Structure 1
Amino acid sequence: MWTRSLLKNNAKEALRGRYWRSFLLCLLLSFLGIGDVSTNIVVQIRENIDSLDRAINGEVWQGNVTAQDVLSELPTYLSPMILNLVGIAVVVGIIVGLCWNAFLINPLTIGRNRYFMESRQSPAPMGTITTVFGPGYLNLVKVQLLTDLKILLGYFLIIPGIYWTYCYAMVPYLLAENPYLTTRRAMELSKQMMDGEKWNTFVLQLSFFGWAILCVLTFGIGYLFLEPYIQATFSELYAALRAKALAACMSDERELGGFVRH
């Protein structure tokens, strides 16, 4: 049975002598938009959909001015053409954003999880995060994308989205350990591991709120220093749930073979 204090103490121990390496890794990833565990592709997709909805309704968020107000001042024959161009640009932007997340952000997030899991045992090279681009890359892209899409669909009904977010929270860690898991198996195993752990996981996330307030006082710079601690703590959570899964025969060492020792 894990406790928040136990996970955090283990995280601090795992970061001992490796903190600045982990800090640099998180700093580099932050330039790509990869950060706190509370941010994920689901939020970004929903923002893209909201943008498309606003474009369809002709809204431009500049005060109370709308696209119709602007276009009414242009020659009539230009309005349909401009609207078509705006629509095409929005659709292209959404497609590019989805591809960016699916083929780069998600794999690098999984690679980051692998790095922190391996760092629990011994200092892992920063290049660990790029090992996801080897064998199994397309499978983990597919599995994570389908998982995110299911969660996204759940958010249209609100409650299922929140529920599935926690059910499938371990999918990126499972893929970090075994990139060949099928979508169905990754979701199933994550759901089993999170059974009875959803509320505790939420409270674990909430326990960083005080630190987050302090980070706000530093104009957000403090988040960069907090990020390694957060990632190391949630790696400890996965390690605890993984041990539970093996003990309860939800999986075995053929499926979850462990992480590399350096």
Structure 2
Amino acid sequence: MLKTNARNALVGRYWRSFVVCLIASLLGGGIGLNVTYSVNSLSDGLSNLPTSTLLLILGGLLLYWIFSILWSTFIGSPLTVGRCRYFMESRQSPSPIGTLFSVFRTPYLNVVKVEFLVSLKIAVGMVLFLIPGIYWAYCYAMVPYLLAENPYMTTSRAMQLSKEMMYGEKLHYFLLELSFLGWMLLCLLSFGIGSFFLSPYMAATFAEFYAAMRAKAFAQGLTNSQELGGFVRHDASAF
């Protein structure tokens, strides 16, 4: 049902959605490099390098690591929230590509803060115990959508509401992710190029999942229209 709704939402809007996902991917994560791989690939020759050169390389990697974190925090995460808003708006009527950048205004810093703290908690859980990190990742999967709908939401409230919305739904979310496995394997055969064409379908499907969780939250009295006021629809001619 979710995938059917997603396909219907993409009718006549696929290529615009494709552009949104492409921009979000390139700006949000397209500049990333695997620092661990970079270090490992250099490890064989490090012992033969002068100390000054070695320090220069390590310093460069450290600066890149810091830059990557800052980029992800101040650019990547807001783009993720903007993409969520775009697909939620597009469920009933076309939304302009500019919706992707709608977060880059007041209260931009609140979105950055909430996303950073949530990501930090998940990362700490992954590094220390792994299982808590995976659990928290599913608990807080709805946070970007909540911020897309209410960018003023506090960190504690976003985490609490997302956790309540995902109660009893984590397995369903995992199975929904797993349902794209076949498509992902096909994308690998195209050297990853196919993933750009799959992204709109996946994003639209997970937007439908949030819509279902949102409806459940309203039915259970977990939130109200003052906190989650819905998504502004744009004119169909807007680009």
Superposed pair shares fold, TM > 0.5: yes
Structure 1 residue 220, shift from structure 2 partner: 2.1
The alignment covers a number of residue pairs equal to: 232
**Cα shift at 1:188:** 0.5
Partner of 2:48: 70
Aligned to 2:101: 130
Q: Is the 8 A contact 2:5 2:205 kept in 1?
A: yes
Match of 1:89 among 60, 72, 81: 60
Whether 2:7 is the aligned partner of 1:12: answer: yes
Give the structure-2-normalised TM-score.
0.91
Structure 2 counterpart of 1:245: 217
Query: Does the 8 Å contact 1:60/1:66 carry over to 2?
Result: no
Answering whether residue 90 of structure 2 is matched by residue 119 of structure 1, we say yes
Q: Distance in 1 between matches of 2:161 and 2:17?
A: 28
- The aligned residue for residue 237 of structure 2 is none
Checking the alignment, whether the CA contact within 8 Å between 1:169 and 1:190 is kept in structure 2 is: yes
Q: Is 1:107 the equivalent of 2:78?
A: yes
Query: What secondary structure sits across from 1:32 in the alignment?
Result: helix
1:171 aligns with 2:143: yes
**Counterpart contact for 1:11–1:232, Cα < 8 Å:** yes
Q: For residue 164 of structure 2, what is the aligned residue in structure 1? A: 192
Tell me, in whole angstroms, the C-alpha distance in 2 between the residues paired with 1:253 and 1:241. 14
CA positional deviation for 1:60: 4.4
Q: Report the equivalent of 1:41.
A: none
CA distance in 2, matches of 1:86, 1:166: 37
Question: Match for residue 39 of structure 1?
Answer: none
Task: Give SS of 1:133's match.
Answer: coil
Counterparts of 1:223 and 1:168, CA distance in 2: 24
Q: 1:84 offset after TM fit, Å?
A: 3.3
2: distance between equivalents of 1:88 and 1:34?
Answer: 22
Q: Distance in 2 between matches of 1:92 and 1:15?
A: 41
Q: What is the match of residue 206 of structure 1?
A: 178
Question: Are residues 1:153 and 2:124 paired?
Answer: yes
Q: Secondary structure at the match of 2:27?
A: coil
- Root mean square deviation of aligned Cα: 2.0
Q: Which residue in the other structure is 1:31 paired with?
A: 26
Change (3 A) 1:210 1:60: closer
Check the 8 A contact 2:142/2:162 in 1, yes or no.
Answer: yes
| Aligned AA (1:86) | I
| 1:142 corresponds to which of 95, 109, 113 | 113
- Structure 1 gap segments, 5+ residues each: 1-5, 36-43
Letter in 2 for 1:18: R
SS where residue 70 of structure 1 aligns?
coil
1:38 corresponding residue in structure 2: none
Task: Please say which structure displays the higher CA radius of gyration.
Answer: 1
CA distance in 2, matches of 1:181, 1:121: 24
Q: Give distance in 2, aligned partners of 1:60 and 1:144.
A: 30
Percent sequence identity over matched residues?
55
Name the CA distance, whole Å, in 2 between partners of 1:145 and 1:225: 28
Once the two structures are superposed, residues 130-187 of structure 1 have per-residue CA deviations (whole angstroms, 9 ceiling, x without a partner) of: 1101111000000000000000000021100110010000011111111111111110
